[in-house]
Structure 1
Amino acid sequence: MIERRPFGRTGHHSTCTIFGAAALGRVTQAEADHTLELLLAADVNHIDTANSYGESERRLGPWTGRYRDRFFLATKTEERTYAKAKEHLHRSLDLLHTDHVDLWQMHCLVQPDQWEQAMGPGGALEAFIEAKEQGLARFIGVTGHYTVAGWMHKRSLERYDFDSVLLPYNYAMMQNPTYRADFEALVQLCQARNVAVQTIKSCTRGPWPGDEHSAATWYEPFSEQAAIDTAVHWVLRRPGIFLNTPGDIHLLPKVLDAARRLTPGPQSELDPAMEALAPTPLFT
């Protein structure tokens, strides 16, 4: 059984591994169906997708339409204006075969100029607040990549009381003193406000060393079960956070298997094993 944790202030207890549905962006419906069957069998109860994830929302639609009560359903938009963000939300609702999402997120909001537009007059934040008031999105959040994500999310929470954040978290990233300080400051704020913290890039080995890619992820992931176990357990031994699974359907069973076998203990206990795997940061 995969551990469940309170997802911030939402009242939902989400599996600590959230399905990262970017993995469905370039697969057939048959492959998506098989993947959703794996999620049901593993009792994963939280799906995270985005309007920009290729065919992901379309592939999810037949399943979320049938099993809407089984999943906490989240999606995202990269649009920064009120009108375009609102249009994106309605497109997502149509593709997902639902009349509401549980969480709608401002996607990859880390560029200062885009932040000013989204948070300013006529910006996407107005569409997000309206969607929450209308019940089209029960909760709203913000996501980000790169080393500035922690700092920018803290800025976003100072502008509006979002319900969740999402950002990179792995052993290699946390060796960057600036990123580590920003991440810890963000987590402290989120804990004080009961804001859910989702993390990505848990299974990152590093940038692809060449042009040959053996996985659908844009970075080279760990692929051996033992390495995935170490990386997943390192992340999930931190209380209260969530791991969004990598964007490759073939890695998913291994990540879910690792999550099932999570054992208690200090995160630092796994530091030597992570160091031995020699991961390198994606963002510097």
Structure 2
Amino acid sequence: MERRDFLKSATAATAAIATKASAAAATPAPTTRPQSPDMIYRQLGTTGETVSAIGMGGFHLGKQKDPAESIKLIHAGVDKGITFLDNCWDYNDGISEVRMGQALKSSGYRQKVFLMSKMDGRTADAYNKQLEESLGRLQTDVIDLVQFHEIIRMEDPDRIFAAGGAIEAAVAARQAGKIRYIGFTGHKDPAVHLRMLETAQRHNFHFDTVQMPINVMDAHFRSFTHEVMPVAIKQGIGVLAMKTFGDHFILDSKTVQPMEALHYGFTQPVSVLITGIDNQQVLDQALEAARTFKPMSQAEVQSLLARTKEAASQGKYELFKTSAHFDGTAQNPKWLGETTTA
């Protein structure tokens, strides 16, 4: 073996050992937050954390023309019992995090919520840079959960778990108290999620959460519900549901009503259903879905899935699976921290 090959192998081995040792670090102590009798609360995987079954999606909270509207929506949701807030380093060029930070700064709101954000960086350097920016925008010293964003390529797990990869930065950030839990997200193909979970296991790393599409059409096409969710639950990983409405496209199919779609999502064994909320009417709809929720029977679920089967069969209304419409890192590969194209 040539010296440079030996050094490369030694570096990779050292990084792997460090990751394994760090993965065994002490579990953070769960935090208690106020609860509302009209909200559903669930355990977040095996973290010991209790969170609201509704998560306020951060992307939509950066779309209001007046920042005060965004802040008002966040306060209204938290006041009604929502404790799980979603965000991402790249949402609306950082505006979503800035506004959420402004909302949480006032009247003790930060202590009332479980705060999540996501990083696009696949390298340790890119991850660290993005994390510091997110901490600043969110005006907090610690983010409760940080997830690797848009794991949508088969090579993404290799990039993250490579020597100098983002996993090293995430573990170090957890040890430093900047983040408390680590997860990942993706919306493209169950095979990519499964490869991420397999790669983590090979490195003796346990994810706290995994975010994926769970909706009334997913069962019929590249199904995360059938292929990934059972694996995650078996491993004690908290499942975060997203794409309940597929933006608006699933509702455009005219096969399901919003309340049905939300109740279907709540019926699944997920910890949180993250939904986009951009105005008071949509917030009220989500709150009403939680207030009126009763688990659907198997017959009711099958009836609903039968209704959506034909429309869902080719992924026409799940554009996040079949197009680049939702792939921010494909359109902006520099976010990954690499010079190669996505």
TM-score w.r.t. length of structure 2: 0.72
Q: 1:183 to 1:238 in 2, by over 3 A?
A: closer
1:56 to 91, 96, 110: 96
Amino acid at match of 2:295: P
The root-mean-square deviation of aligned C-alpha atoms, in Å, is 2.3
Larger strand fraction of residues: 1
Q: 1:74 to 1:255 in 2, by over 3 A?
A: same
1:16 to 40, 53, 58: 53
3-state SS in 2 of match to 1:251: helix
Per-residue Cα deviation, 1:192-217 (whole angstroms, up to 9, x for no partner): 3321000111123xxxxxxxxxxxx4
Superposition deviation, residue 258 in structure 1: 1.3
Could you list the structure 1 runs, at least 4 aligned residues long, displaced by more than 4 angstroms after superposition. none
3-state SS in 2 of match to 1:222: helix
Question: Distance between the aligned counterparts of 1:241 and 1:112, measured in 2?
Answer: 26
Residue 333 (structure 2) aligns with: none
Superposition deviation, residue 252 in structure 1: 3.0
2:286 to 236, 255, 258: 255
Residue 220 (structure 1) aligns with: 249
Whether the 8 Å CA contact 1:190–1:196 is kept in 2: the answer is yes
Equivalent residues in 2 for 1:55-204 (5 A)?
Answer: 55-66=95-106, 67-148=109-190, 149-158=192-201, 159=203, 160-176=205-221, 179-180=222-223, 183-204=225-246
Per-residue Cα deviation, 1:86-138 (whole angstroms, up to 9, x for no partner): 11111111111100000011001121333322210111111001011111110
Residue 235 (structure 1) aligns with: 265
Question: Distance between the aligned counterparts of 1:268 and 1:142, measured in 2?
Answer: 32
Whether the 8 Å CA contact 1:153–1:165 is kept in 2: the answer is no
Amino acid at match of 2:293: L
Q: 1:30 to 1:156 in 2, by over 3 A?
A: farther
Question: Distance between the aligned counterparts of 1:238 and 1:113, measured in 2?
Answer: 29
Amino acid at match of 2:90: S
Q: Which deviates more, 189-198 or 64-73? A: 189-198
Q: 1:189 to 1:202 in 2, by over 3 A?
A: same
Question: Distance between the aligned counterparts of 2:105 and 2:211, measured in 1?
Answer: 25
Per-residue Cα deviation, 1:137-172 (whole angstroms, up to 9, x for no partner): 100001001123543443344242111000111121
Mind listing any 5+ residue stretches in structure 2 that lack a counterpart? 1-37, 323-342
Question: Distance between the aligned counterparts of 1:153 and 1:6, measured in 2?
Answer: 23
Question: Distance between the aligned counterparts of 2:71 and 2:258, measured in 1?
Answer: 24
Whether the 8 Å CA contact 1:17–1:242 is kept in 2: the answer is yes
3-state SS in 2 of match to 1:112: coil
Per-residue Cα deviation, 1:11-50 (whole angstroms, up to 9, x for no partner): 2111111111111122231110221122123210010100
Residue 264 (structure 1) aligns with: 295
TM-score w.r.t. length of structure 1: 0.85
Residue 26 (structure 1) aligns with: 63
Whether the 8 Å CA contact 1:230–1:274 is kept in 2: the answer is no
Question: Distance between the aligned counterparts of 1:220 and 1:256, measured in 2?
Answer: 22
Q: 1:170 to 1:157 in 2, by over 3 A?
A: farther
Superposition deviation, residue 276 in structure 1: 3.8
Question: Distance between the aligned counterparts of 2:131 and 2:298, measured in 1?
Answer: 38
Work out which of the two has the higher radius of gyration on C-alpha atoms and give 1 or 2: 2
Amino acid at match of 2:105: G
Question: Distance between the aligned counterparts of 2:49 and 2:291, measured in 1?
Answer: 20
Superposition deviation, residue 247 in structure 1: 5.6
